[in-house]
């Protein structure tokens, strides 16, 4: 046990530490009470209005020297404008009719009933005892803690945050530094205690959605305490056998598991009664719940730091529901639920009805949009048949290298190969993207309409580009040789090229599968995750007000400034790619037979056409910037009627998804990216910066390294950082 002197020394050190600011809401109240605008405060503190907004909504925290100045100002205002005492009232909770469940949702009957208060969530149970130990060094002073605290303050039902990490001695580490003493020594007791006393969970992200169930993360020591093995014997299915003692304990206590069983991410529930949800999720760390490709070394941190990382992600994105891919898909549904409560005029009862703008029901894709093993494709083609471009939609990210024989003499005199990488390219592509909400409708010889989502059979081989450029209509960058299926963004870009550069060809689709009900389904998802990405980057010191040179300098070391936030950043980026990938989830069971349905097909969010549209938009966005960059760097404008570029045009030597590699005289992107006479990036070209769709420096290698890679048929973009981009999750 520590001595009294040791404890007093630790407390004194804490008091002398970083200034402690009032809550974000109190900061805004004090400023408004003083009659000062956010713009005026930003001017005084030599900052930006957006930065002040971030301080007041809990998305970021000030850093020295602004931190001390801001604290002094707030203390002065607090003395002048003390907070009046007002009675607290807690809003009631309304549970909407249940939405169609995902694979991870409890298997239970779906009932539509009138919205009613949730007795489990609305009640204020006795607060569990708290530990006498601090949770972690400086945990409560981090920006994420402020975000989580603000979220908790908004809903007293979840006063202790969305999740917690349980250690072997019964200490439950919550977000923000709080440590609870959990008495449970079995999994059923842990579930009961979590629902009755822990006050964990998160408010719904949409009025028609559901509150997030509490998440308990189990360390290896906690797993042993609860009777769980440190390794799963079933390495293929990744679940406990049904006769394991923990599973039998749950059955005896009348708890149920979802169809996924008791694996690294286990959902334990009882069927809902009268709108009352009883569900807890467990993440078992020794079973690999936190994939290092997404979360880095988070599972190797201490319990308090794990809670900090996951709590930050939960506050900015969503409470983790499984892998980052699963969480990305769940965020789509949480932000646009399939159903809402509607009143039946005939009976006066509240029933479940579709929510406009959402994916409300599972629909089969068009045969050309389906993977080979899907029933609608398997009915047309036997197993092993290699479908041609005229038989299948092949919208994938770029994997292209230039023929080394097409390198110019001037390019071969340059010293470096420099890679630039588009920030969250798929996320940027989802912004304002109109997608289909309904099932496909087949149309013969349609007129192309860029506002109509769908798949189009059209011959784009007549569009000729400079052979040193990748072709925009194929993932491999090779010019198509006849009719092929394309998503709407690809055909729209073809029309854009024809119209802009007066190319001698026309768009004449032979056939199409279109959607008649459309909308920007992914917009809320884009807005939430892009804000999470930018807020995380801001807390790592990468802000939108940096100059290009400052941006590159900060990006060299931004992840080292806070490894926990770097892990959150990695998870956010994995959420984007994984969430889009989940829209076309393939069968996972070894028991699946070719042509049979698999569980993912029953989700409204199993939509390969939406995945194709996003990837199509990302690929043409990349090509558009490549072309604009080339046109901005050549001396003479391209002649009308073709896209043959001058020998001086800046062209990439390789593309891999969102990474482009250029040859340069210097090692920095600033040595080759085009700028106008006043120093601004050339219109339409690649722009350095932090926002989604802008680019960062990916890596630099010597010219001879890049040429050797091309000669050997390897893609320099994959290795420009010195590692395999695919293994790094890039």
Which pLDDT value is given to residue 639?
A: 73
Token representation of residue 81: 């404008």
Whether residue 112 has pLDDT greater than 90: no
pLDDT at 79: 82
Relative to beta strand 483-487, strand 518-519 is unpaired
Structure tokens at 693: 């769709």
pLDDT at residue 147, rounded to an integer: 55
Segment 647-691, tens digit of pLDDT: 999 999 999 999 999 999 999 999 999 999 999 999 999 999 999
Express each pLDDT in 574-632 by its tens digit: 999 999 999 999 998 888 999 999 999 999 999 999 999 999 999 999 999 999 999 99
The whole-angstrom separation of Cα 328 and Cα 578 is 7
* Per-residue model confidence as pLDDT tens digits over 241-271: 999 999 999 999 999 999 889 999 999 999 8
Count CA within 13 A, CB hemisphere, residue 677: 0
Residue 400 has pLDDT above 90, yes or no: yes
The pLDDT assigned to 494 comes to 98
Give the separation between CA 635 and CA 644, rounded to whole angstroms.
Answer: 13
Residues 6+ apart with CB under 8 A from 706: 417, 653, 654, 661, 663, 716
Whether 580 and 522 have beta carbons less than 8 Å apart is answered as no
DSSP E strands, 240-396: 256-257, 265-273, 276-284, 339-343, 350-354
Strand duo 416-422 + 695-702: pairing: antiparallel
* pLDDT, tens digit, 9 for 90 and up, residues 281-301: 999 999 999 999 999 999 999
Instruction: Please tell me the distance from the alpha carbon of residue 559 to that of residue 541, in angstroms, as a whole number.
Output: 9
Q: Helix, strand, coil: what percent of the chain each, to 5?
A: 35, 15, 50
The tens digit of pLDDT for each residue in 65-101 reads: 788 888 888 888 888 888 753 333 333 333 333 333 4
Domain boundaries along the sequence of the chain: 16-80, 119-347
Radius of gyration of the chain (CA): 28
The string of pLDDT tens digits covering residues 120-179 is 333 333 345 454 343 433 333 345 445 544 554 457 889 999 999 999 999 999 998 999
pLDDT at 440: 98
Residue 493: both structure tokens together: 């870009």
How far is it, in rounded angstroms, from Cα 709 to Cα 715? 6
Query: In the prediction, which pLDDT does 110 show?
Result: 36
Going by pLDDT thresholds of 50, 70 and 90, the confidence category of residue 388 is: very high
Whether the Cβ atoms of residue 238 and residue 197 lie closer than 8 Å to each other:
no
Q: Can you read off the two tokens belonging to residue 427?
A: 């996320």
Tokens 């002073």 belong to which residue?
Answer: 141
Which pLDDT score is estimated for 5? 61
In terms of DSSP bridges, do strands 659-664 and 654-656 run parallel, antiparallel, or are they unpaired?
Answer: antiparallel
**How far is residue 422's CA from residue 398's CA, in Å, rounded to a whole number?**
13
Tell me: pLDDT of 342 over 80.
yes
Nearest to 23 by CA among 105, 143, 171, 198: 143
31 closest CA partner among 84, 3, 73: 73
CB count in 10 Å sphere of residue 116: 15
Q: What is the pLDDT of residue 113?
A: 35
DSSP reduced 3-state for 9: helix
Rounded to whole angstroms, the Cα distance separating 113 from 97 reads: 6
**pLDDT for the residue numbered 328:** 98
**Which are the contacts of 14, defined by CB distance < 8 A and separation ≥ 6?**
none
More confident residue, 560 or 14: 560
The token pair at 368 is 């050309």
Supply the mean pLDDT for the chain: 87
- Higher pLDDT pick, 103 / 217: 217
pLDDT for 479-532, tens place per residue?
A: 999 999 999 999 999 999 999 999 999 999 999 999 999 999 999 999 999 999
* pLDDT average, residue stretch 202-229: 96
Query: What is the pTM for the complete model shown?
Result: 0.81
* 266 and 322 Cβ atoms separated by less than 8 Å: no
For the ranges 342-346, 403-407, 676-680, which has the lowest average pLDDT? 342-346
Domain 16-80 annotated CATH 3.90.198.10: no
- The pLDDT score that the predictor gives to residue 90 is 31
Task: Identify the pLDDT of residue 233.
Answer: 86
- Per the structure block, which two tokens stand in for 516? 């008649």
């Amino acid at each position: 046990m520590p001595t009294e002197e040791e404890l007093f020394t630790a407390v004194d050190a804490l008091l002398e530490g970083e200034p402690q600011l009032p809550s974000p809401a109190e900061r805004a109240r004090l400023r408004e009470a003083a009659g000062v605008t956010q713009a005026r405060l930003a001017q005084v503190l030599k900052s930006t209005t957006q930065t002040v907004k971030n301080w007041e909504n809990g998305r970021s925290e000030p850093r020295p020297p602004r931190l001390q100045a801001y604290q002094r100002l707030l203390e002065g205002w607090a003395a002048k404008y003390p907070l009046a005492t007002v009675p607290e009232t807690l809003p009631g909770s309304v549970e909407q009719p249940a939405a169609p469940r995902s694979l991870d949702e409890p298997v239970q009957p779906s009932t539509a009933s009138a919205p009613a208060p949730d007795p489990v969530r609305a009640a204020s149970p006795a607060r569990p005892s708290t530990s006498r130990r601090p949770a972690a060094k400086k945990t409560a002073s981090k920006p994420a803690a402020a975000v989580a605290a603000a979220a908790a303050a908004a809903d007293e039902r979840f006063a202790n945050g969305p999740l917690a990490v349980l250690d072997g001695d019964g200490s439950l580490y919550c977000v923000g530094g709080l440590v609870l003493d959990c008495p449970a020594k079995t999994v059923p007791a842990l579930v009961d205690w979590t629902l009755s006393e822990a006050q964990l969970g998160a408010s719904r992200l949409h009025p028609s959605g559901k509150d997030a169930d509490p998440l308990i993360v189990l360390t290896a020591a906690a797993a042993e305490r609860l009777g769980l093995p440190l390794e799963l014997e079933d390495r293929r299915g990744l679940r406990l056998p049904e006769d394991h003692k923990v599973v039998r304990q749950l059955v005896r206590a009348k708890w149920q598991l979802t169809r996924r069983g008791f694996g690294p991410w286990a959902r334990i529930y009882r069927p809902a009664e009268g709108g009352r949800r009883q569900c807890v999720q467990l993440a078992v760390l020794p079973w690999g719940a936190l994939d290092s490709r997404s979360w880095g070394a988070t599972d190797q941190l201490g319990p308090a730091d794990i809670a900090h990382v996951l709590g930050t992600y939960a506050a900015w994105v969503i409470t983790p529901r499984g892998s980052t891919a699963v969480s990305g898909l769940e965020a789509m549904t949480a932000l646009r639920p399939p159903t809402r409560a509607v009143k039946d005029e005939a009976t006066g009862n509240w029933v479940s009805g579709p929510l406009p703008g959402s994916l409300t029901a599972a629909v089969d894709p068009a045969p050309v949009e389906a993977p080979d093993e899907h029933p609608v494709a398997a009915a047309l083609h036997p197993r092993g048949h290699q479908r041609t471009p005229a038989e299948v939609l092949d919208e994938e990210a770029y994997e292209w290298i230039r023929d080394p024989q097409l390198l110019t003499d001037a390019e071969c005199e340059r010293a470096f190969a420099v890679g630039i990488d588009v920030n969250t390219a798929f996320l940027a592509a989802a912004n304002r993207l109109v997608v289909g909400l309904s099932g496909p409708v087949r149309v013969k010889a349609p007129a192309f309409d860029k506002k109509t989502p769908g798949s189009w059979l059209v011959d784009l081989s007549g569009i000729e580009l400079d052979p040193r450029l990748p072709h925009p209509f194929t993932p491999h960058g090779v010019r198509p040789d006849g009719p092929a299926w394309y998503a709407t963004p690809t055909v729209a870009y073809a029309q854009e090229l024809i119209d802009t550069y007066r190319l001698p060809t026309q768009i004449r689709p032979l056939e199409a599968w279109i959607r008649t009900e459309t909308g920007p389904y992914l917009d809320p998802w884009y807005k939430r995750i892009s804000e999470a990405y930018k807020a995380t980057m801001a807390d790592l010191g990468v802000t939108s007000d940096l100059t290009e040179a400052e941006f590159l300098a900060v990006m060299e070391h931004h992840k080292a400034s806070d490894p926990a936030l770097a892990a959150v950043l990695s998870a956010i980026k994995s959420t984007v790619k994984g969430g889009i990938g989940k829209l076309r989830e393939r069968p996972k069971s070894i028991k699946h037979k070719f042509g049979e349905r698999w569980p993912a097909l029953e989700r409204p969010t199993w939509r390969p056409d939406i995945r194709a549209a996003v990837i199509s938009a990302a690929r043409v966005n990349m090509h558009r910037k490549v072309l604009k960059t080339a046109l901005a760097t050549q001396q003479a404008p391209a002649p009308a009627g073709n896209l043959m570029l001058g020998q001086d045009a800046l062209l990439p030597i390789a593309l891999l998804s969102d990474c482009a590699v250029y040859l340069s005289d210097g090692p920095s992107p600033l040595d080759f990216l085009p700028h106008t006479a006043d120093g601004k990036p050339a219109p339409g070209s690649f722009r350095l910066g932090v926002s989604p769709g802008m680019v960062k420096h990916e890596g630099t290698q010597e010219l001879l390294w890049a040429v050797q890679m091309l000669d050997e048929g390897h893609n320099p973009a994959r290795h420009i950082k010195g590692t395999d981009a695919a293994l790094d999750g890039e």
